[in-house]
């Protein structure tokens, strides 16, 4: 998926922000209960030109609801391909639509869309090619409903990630992210996992190519409808994140070669 020549530049009509096309992507799976609410909060920010929803083989009414939403492009995977595969489709479609700034907002209403203007500004101005909405920066993740075991694992994995990749990110594991077009075109996203560790691989690749990651504080908002992977899948995800960090460090030292981190 990487490479500037891989995508036709089909310009979606630009609207508001510095003549740049802003596309919000929503990787969706069984999100029927919260999709419309999330969409309503996203689309009221007039700088958003287009919303792309990729339904990853849901068993509920996610696709039907998304098809009814104005200014929305819907793609349906006939079967569940995985969270990472969902994002690959999201980013591919966003770039094909001519997006200059791409923001991922989970449709489970866990992350407030009210941060979209700030995230767009940081990316569109050229300050950061990647901006994360961090639930840790504000210091109220637990008060916002994050389970204690998830908070502890988040902090430990982030500490290990920072150590292995020589950075100072407050949270590697947020699903609220903004990217520039130029950055996504540079990253070899197709080489990444189709599972949840995709998120961690992307940030490792951002750092591999020498980019700085920006962060803003994001309120934590858990509800019964918020998506969440179970404990054992979280364990597998955690081990995957550690593996990504180790491979990154060994590749940086020149001890191994990895398709995730190509030579520059």
Residue 36 CA to its chain's centroid (Å): 19
The lowest-confidence range among 169-178, 182-191, 231-240, 253-262 is 231-240
Phi-psi region of 147 (alpha: psi -120 to 50; beta: other; left: phi over 0): beta
Q: Where are the domains of the chain?
A: 4-253
User: Which whole-number Å values give the CA distances from 27 to 84, 148, 205, in the listed order?
Assistant: 9, 26, 20
Summarised one tens digit per residue, pLDDT across range 6-17 is 444 444 555 558
Short-list 166, 182, 172, CA closest to 215: 172
| pTM flag (> 0.75) | yes
Cβ proximity of 49 and 22 under 8 Å: yes
Give tens-digit pLDDT for 163-211.
999 999 999 999 999 999 999 999 999 999 999 999 999 999 999 999 9
Classify strands 213-217 and 130-134 as parallel, antiparallel or unpaired. parallel
pLDDT single digits (tens) 40-54: 999 999 899 999 999
CATH code of the domain made up of 4-253: 3.90.550.10
- Report d(CA 51, CA 201) in Å as an integer: 24
**pLDDT score, position 140:** 80
Structure tokens at 44: 């009221």
């Amino acid at each position: 998926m990487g490479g500037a020549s891989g995508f036709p530049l089909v310009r979606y009509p630009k609207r508001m922000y510095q003549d740049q096309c802003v596309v919000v992507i929503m990787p969706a799976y069984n999100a029927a209960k919260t999709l419309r609410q999330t969409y309503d909060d996203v689309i009221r920010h007039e700088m958003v030109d287009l919303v792309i929803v990729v339904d990853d083989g849901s068993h509920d009414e996610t696709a039907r609801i998304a098809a009814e939403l104005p200014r929305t492009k819907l793609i349906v995977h006939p079967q569940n391909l995985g969270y990472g595969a969902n994002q690959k489709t999201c980013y591919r479609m966003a770039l094909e639509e001519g997006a200059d700034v791409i923001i991922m907002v989970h449709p489970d209403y866990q992350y407030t869309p009210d941060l979209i203007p700030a995230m767009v500004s940081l990316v569109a101005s050229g300050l950061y090619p990647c901006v994360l909405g961090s639930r840790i920066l504000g210091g109220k993740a637990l008060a916002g409903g994050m389970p204690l075991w998830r908070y502890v694992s988040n902090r430990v994995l982030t500490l290990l990630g920072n150590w292995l990749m020589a950075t100072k990110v407050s949270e590697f594991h947020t699903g609220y992210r903004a990217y520039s077009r130029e950055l996504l075109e540079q990253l070899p996203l197709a080489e990444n996992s189709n599972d949840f560790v995709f998120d961690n691989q992307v940030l490792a690749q951002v750092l591999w190519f020498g980019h700085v990651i920006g962060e803003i504080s994001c309120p934590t908002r858990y509800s019964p409808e918020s998506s969440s992977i179970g404990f054992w899948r979280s364990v597998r995800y955690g081990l995957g994140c550690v593996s990504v960090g180790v491979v990154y460090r060994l590749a940086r030292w020149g001890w191994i070669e990895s398709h995730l981190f190509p030579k520059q």
